[in-house]
Structure 1
């Protein structure tokens, strides 16, 4: 068995210093098997190492923010060259113009772009802009996992403490035009916010065109969240793949191959409401000290060059198809295809874990994660990068074979009892934390 002693010590200290023990809920220790949450110290390509010296093939890749691989040399070199001449100034830099030109060349449906640091900055700016443009307040959001840390979205989740009651937000299911039409007909909606496609749901024929037409009919702005789909579906995002142009789009994650950068892009008539060339009341759109810092803009431009000169999406998809085919064949061979399955878009795979009754199961998910960690595979998903080599995929498939054999034992006995060594993982967005574990006094190393 692998040792996680140092990781457990550091994680315990983090809980004393940082609420939740991590700066992103999805990175929390509660998302991993108990006492098996590696604390990382470095990465290279698709491999990472923890502070106990354990090596892993990593999936998820920085919550989908890394598509070219950890420490990708051209990005690191571009950032190093640029920041040697300064990082932040009191006036715009030429780099801001060049980065904006690069971005808009990839997203031809957008006329203007503004850079920021967090995805929530961009989505909330889009909502504010839509409200100002339409004079309406209600936001219609698709039933998809996550859009923002701000009140208009988080107020609709289980983690709504500290948020005023009844945020003016309504929901509608994906791939259901009638439900969206009913929402637009019964509410005065400023904007429709959605991902054009997800890892596990492609738009039905005509669906996105129908959404576009409904927004036009009811005077609501269409906002595409391209945080995940941008640079993973294509360099131009899902809108380029599906051929439907939104009024506004929000970007982040893989734009900088892990460097902190996000963007709000859209039609000039709306974006200018946050500028200096409007006769209407101005929108306080995005005004951030660190939005235009040079390091992340240089990283973004290097990412654009990598996508122009090679085919990262193609490499991600090839690796993903190879992985999904391998693992699903093993599950079928072991007779557990109805309980363990890899699914989704090849560049954005997830694994579904079901119990002996065929129901989605966190304990069974935890067992699978536990066995993968023991075999050098780290990931809450099977999201690949362009750096995932055949050797890395082969290692993962073999790890999955061993893990699936133990998984089959759990299915056959009807539970994970005697196989899972700690508590199950839990949903990241939930109202209450698990009962607090009182650890022994940590010993410094």
Structure 2
């Protein structure tokens, strides 16, 4: 294993900080995704990236990092994965957008439905929010009801029906959305009995929660009993739990499912899939009032479709999920061993499915702590590791994991010192990182605007 002292460096973030300041002047929040914001990293240590290859990225100051999170879980094969890049290059050389469907649209649909046996039809888009909102619209049309029941899970859409349920609801009118608890059939049964629910929207599993035996089957039965459509959000589970998503792993088929992220290995593409009887309401084989399902200029853009077809090929011939899980197991075991060795295993934890790991930071009282998270992130960055999580890709090698564990060993020693002192005071971490979705800019409000 590498010597941690050789990995820790006084990295400069001068150029990244200059560019981040300019981004704040021109882009609200300084990033186009809240989860990518500088407030998710220690102050003045948020790298602005310029390139990536495999699991490694480089920033504008010339720093190289082993990356985790992999494009918010969108990259499973590695940055710049050759076959995907080549397929996209070939496709866009022949044009990107046309006034009629292309053969590539049929090929992509066939590839997708061969991987998701529970779906009969698919429609492509460019982002996950569009397809989840299309699922809600379709469910409302099918049932004639308005209320949406969403599981108490982190995120489903940027659109009003979901964001209106979060603390970041400024500018959004009242929404007809109710919540239920995960792994609690009584909670869902109570909601379905109290409201006329059009659809139940949920992730079948998350990074830190697997379905209890019989839970998903119970959800399916409750939806059928109350006439609500079951919608699985497969944004993260798709191509990370299996190529066929969580529905393939757990054997419960939803009425509709929503996909994105790893479908294109970083290229923008998303999908709404489902049973023919429902999906056809957005087509031309129905006598009912038609549903404006999905109709976007760039939904069938050839670059994204070509990327998906290349991803589908990789999943049919290689074993990306097995490689992600192997890397994740090695990483989790290594970091847990370090934490246990130092006696801080209850404070610094690695949780989740091997292909979708997160780390949890707790203070001396055992409570989740953003300040201790900031300290840990800072030490990771100093050692050349970038990530808000420990989400792996098929490009992470055993050597990459060994190097990461060595950096975590150094970070854990610093963590132990802070615990022994009682808090992070004296470690000069600046203001702590903050939740991406929060009502106010504090605690990371930008105090001065550049002229």
TM-score bracket, normalised by the shorter chain, equals: over 0.9
Q: The residue matched to 1:285 in structure 2 has which SS? A: coil
Deviations 1:299-353 (A, max 9, x none): 0000000001110000000000000000000000000001001110000000010
Distance 2:429 2:366 in 1: 22
In 1, Cα distance between the equivalents of 2:221 and 2:30? Answer: 45
- Which whole-Å CA distance do the structure 2 matches of 1:8 and 1:276 have between them? 53
Once the two structures are TM-superposed, the CA of residue 419 in structure 1 deviates from its matched residue by 1.2
The correspondence for 1:84, drawn from 76, 82, 93, is 93
**Shift >3 Å, 4+ stretches:** 435-442
What SS does structure 2 have at the residue aligned with 1:52? coil
Aligned match of 1:3: 12
What secondary structure, in the 3-state scheme, does the structure 2 residue paired with 1:214 have? helix
- SS of residue in 1 equivalent to 2:360: strand
Moved more, 430-439 or 285-294: 430-439
Given candidates 347, 352, 355, the residue that maps to 1:347 is 355
1:414 and 2:422 correspond = yes
The equivalent of 1:276 in structure 2 is 284
Cross-structure match for 2:270: 262
> What is the aligned partner in structure 1 of residue 5 from structure 2?
none
1:393 aligns with 2:401: yes
- Counterpart of 1:27 in structure 2 is 36
Q: Determine if the alignment matches structure 1 residue 428 to structure 2 residue 431.
A: no
Please list the CA deviations of residues 416-442 of structure 1 after superposition, one character each: whole Å capped at 9, or x if unmatched: 011142110000100100264446969
Secondary structure of 1:258 counterpart: coil
Q: Structure 2 length as normaliser, TM-score?
A: 0.97
* Cα shift readout 1:384-439 (whole Å, capped 9, x = no counterpart): 00000011101100000000000001111110011142110000100100264446
* Paired residues for 1:17-416 under 5 Å: 17-165=26-174, 167-416=175-424
Q: SS of the counterpart of 1:184?
A: helix
- Measured in 2, the distance between the counterparts of 1:436 and 1:136 equals 41
Structure 1 residue 276: deviation in Å?
Answer: 1.1
**1:192–1:215 CA contact under 8 A, matched in 2:** yes
- Offset at residue 30 of structure 1 (A): 0.3
Q: Could you list the runs of 5+ residues in structure 2 that have no partner in the other structure? A: 1-9
